[in-house]
Structure 1
Amino acid sequence: MPRPKLARRIGCRPAYSCFKPNGVPMSELAHNQLAADELEALRLVDLQGLQQQPAAEQLGVSRQTLGNILSSARKKVAQALVEGMALELETAPKP
C-alpha cells in the first residue's frame, strides 16, 4: 500500500480550467488531467527558472519527488500538444 500523499504548497491558480485544440468540441477530444502540484512544479522550474532543490522546498516535497512530478507533468503536456488532446487543469483547494 502506497504512502498517503502529503499536502503540497501550491502558489498559483490556473486562469482557465482547460486548454484544448481550437475548433474541436470538448466532447470529441481525449483529455489529460494535470494535477495542481504538476502545474506548480512546471511554474516554479520552467517558468520561474528555479533549480529543483529550491523549487522542491517551496512545494514542500523532496527533490526526488519534485523530479517525478515534473517528469509526469512534462509528459502530459507533450502528449496533449502532439496528439491534440485537451489538458484539464486541476484547481488547488483553497487554503
Structure 2
Amino acid sequence: MSLTNVQKKQYRLIGHSLNPVVTVAGNGLTENVFAEIDRALEDHELIKVRYSIVDRDVRETLVKETAKVLKCETVQTIGKVALFYRAALEPNPKLSNLLR
C-alpha cells in the first residue's frame, strides 16, 4: 500500500489544516493508544498524531512502529507531529478528512 508522490502531496495539503487527534506521551505506545489511533484512522482516514517525546531517535522509532502495527502509511513527519493515512473499509463522508 505505497502512496505515490502525487498522493502524498495531496494528503500533505489536506493535513496542513488538521489538528492532532491523538497525543503519545512519555508512556509510549500502549494498547489504548493503538486502539484510539486505529479508531481515528477508521473514521477519518487521514490523521495527525503528536509524539510528546524529546528524544528524536525514540520518536522516529515510535512513528515507524505505529505505521507497522496499524498497517498505515506515514505521509509526513515534521518535528513531533506525524501524518498517517489508511483507507477506511467503509468511508463515512461526514467524518472522512478526504471526502469533506
Structure ID, larger Rg: 1
TM-score between both structures, scaled by the size of structure 1:
0.25
TM-score by length of 2: 0.24
Q: Which has the higher contact order (CA 8 A, sep 6+)?
A: 1
